[in-house]
Chains A and B, each alone.
Chain A
Amino acid sequence: MSVIQVTDLKKSYGGIHALSGCSMTFEDKAINGLIGPNGSGKTTLFNVITGYETADSGQVSLRGQDITNAKPDEVFEQGIGRTFQITRIFPRLTVLENVHVAAQRQGFVAQARGWDSAAERERAMEVLEFVGLARLAPEIAGDLSYGQQKLLEFAFITMARPSVILLDEPAGGVNPSLLRHISDRIRALNSEGVTFIIVEHDMEFVMRLCDQVLVMHQGSALTSGPPEQVRSDPAVLEAYLGTGPKEGS
């Protein structure tokens, strides 16, 4: 079963092809790892899927439904949440307010009501509890440490109960104990049926956590499969080490 499928995506900036006909299938209810050397187009792929950039051509579909070039807010409403490589929270709002921003409401009257309705507040505290930030709920988010901000971003993504979560380098700049905490949270959500797509350079983290690993190289899909298989694939090694003359290892 696939949840997100991208078909022949192309995106270029000037003469640089960030995506050159990328086709991939992400497994539903799985933890998908997306790896590849720097500049292979992983973040661009995330941006195109989540509507931050428009593809030049190609298709993105969510459970068979076409969401190519939908706007970021529409993508989020469809149940796809994402984090950024450099954590992006709302630094001048409180931690609790940050989480409430992601709560979805429709209609004029609902928008005009106070932001902290009882039901939403309960959900927000539950989400903060889940990542271990409940105690800091009334603090200004910009005062949090880098790791705490990372958790906060993760927390508010889950506020609207997305079915797919895209994480862009969740392990970057994070200490080992926090990293373990983050992977625990990912597994816990995954066991409730949430699909993850994770871009990460920390191979150990990817191999330990992911059910399926997809490899990108020069803007398109190179290979995919279970972690062990990808790990031992010579093509992957070559992609990382460059396409120079082959040498025995």
Chain B
Amino acid sequence: MTATEIAPVGAASPQHVPYRPPRAVRYGATAGLLVLLIAFPLVLPNPTVTSIGVFTMIYLIAAIGWNIFSGYSGYISIGHAAYYGIGQYTVALITIHAHLPGGWGLFGLLPVAGVVSALASIPIGFLLLRVRRHTFIVLTIAIMFILQLLAFNLTRFTNGSGGLTMPFPTWTGNFFNMPFYYVGLLAAVVAGAAAWWIRRSKYGLGLFAIRDDEERARGLGIKVTRSKLIAYAASAFFVGIAGGLYAPFVGSVYPQFAFDPTFDLAVAVLVFVGGIGTLSGPVLGALVLIPLQQYFYLQFGNANLYLIAYGVLFILILRLLPGGIVPGVTSAWRARLVARARARQEDTRPEDTGLKDDAGQKGRA
């Protein structure tokens, strides 16, 4: 995959300055965020606000899941709505055919939605992962549209454009959104834990190596095909769960909202804005952008103004924070530390560097 430019801060620094904030800061921030997310609907129980919360959780799960594949391996998928849709139809079809009532029981179907999505992703991934870069991106979109067409055409199964209607839970008032919110939060925490685990595992290191240079990784014994496929299935699992949560929440499934091209891009955007390939990037992206997007939607009600506002915002973010919030902030913070360390060393004799630069060339030719 492509290697992006890296701010040449590290090599010149007199001693190593860590790239990440200290562990205490990271763990503290995670715990603090979790407390805030748990307390949020209790403090602001207004259903308009909590429904924004539920949508945020749905996108948060999807963004974390998407990042496990696209962020870690560098293969950008703009077709993960395929699994969002499969998750939705799985939950809706089981509920309808088994005559399940609305309510807590439906949450038990979330893992099923995840597993069905993951199983579906294996043959699809096997086909897609033979190609790279743009062809890969575009094929993921094509697969998504094929599934959308199938959902429209297989009317016996899906009722086509008429959609499927799901039973609503009997919950009322402020409480209605709460179960969806907390189950969503739980799923997001599980997704986050999986992303964290993979990030620090031997397997995950292999994925990052594939992102940087797939052929080189293969030449160091990494099973690239298998690795990519596993990551693809893992991300499909979580995106499927996000879909499985969405269907009972809105109470219906339609082909164009299940296999929704705007969902694809929304998720990619969240992760890009937050910082692709990082642990906190998708979290930050979802927690900032989805409430903002929902706010625009409620504010401008009218779909076209909402589209314009969202598009403009998106362009601005791409322009102003091309690397995402997390990498942008951490590298600025680190640059300060490096500058400070260098200033401290200014008076002391510069260390003998032994074997160092030849002709001062940097990076690959």
Contacts and interface: CB of A to CB of B under 8 A. Distances in A.
Interface of A: 50-52, 71-73, 75-77, 81-82, 84, 86-94, 97, 100-105, 110-115, 132, 136, 138-140, 142-149, 151, 156, 160, 173-175, 177-178, 181
B35 interface: no
A90 B207 CA distance: 11
B218 A71 contact: yes
B222 A73 contact: yes
A88 B216 contact: yes
B364 to A, nearest CB: 6
Nearest to A94: B19
A17 B217 CA distance: 28
A101 B222 contact: yes
B156 interface: no
A174 B6 CA distance: 22
Contacts of A105: 202
> Which interface residue of A100, A111, A174, A181 has the most chain B CB atoms within 10 A?
A111
Interface stretch (B86-94, B114-122, B351-359): B351-359
A77 B6 contact: no
Contact of A145 (B197, B209, B360): B360
A140 B358 contact: no
Interface string B213-257: 101111111111000000000000000000000000000000000
A139 to B, nearest CB: 4
A136 B356 CA distance: 11
B196 to A, nearest CB: 11
A110 B206 CA distance: 13
B194 to A, nearest CB: 11
A102 B203 contact: no
Contacts, number: 153
A102 to B, nearest CB: 4
A114 B200 contact: yes
A92 B6 contact: yes
A169 B9 CA distance: 29
A76 B217 CA distance: 10
Contacts of B209: 90, 93, 101
B163 interface: no
23 contacts: A84-B216, A88-B364, A89-B212, A91-B6, A91-B212, A94-B19, A100-B202, A104-B221, A105-B202, A111-B202, A112-B201, A138-B18, A138-B19, A142-B3, A145-B11, A146-B358, A148-B355, A149-B363, A156-B220, A173-B361, A174-B358, A177-B355, A178-B355
Contacts of A72: 215, 218-219
A104 B205 CA distance: 12
B45 interface: no
A97 B6 CA distance: 16
Those 4 A-B pairs whose CB atoms lie nearest each other, nearest first:
A175-B358, A90-B212, A143-B10, A146-B361
B99 interface: no
A140 B358 CA distance: 18
Contacts of A81: 219-220
A50 to B, nearest CB: 6
B147 to A, nearest CB: 30
B8 A143 contact: yes
B221 A115 contact: no
B279 to A, nearest CB: 15
B80 interface: no
B221 A160 contact: yes
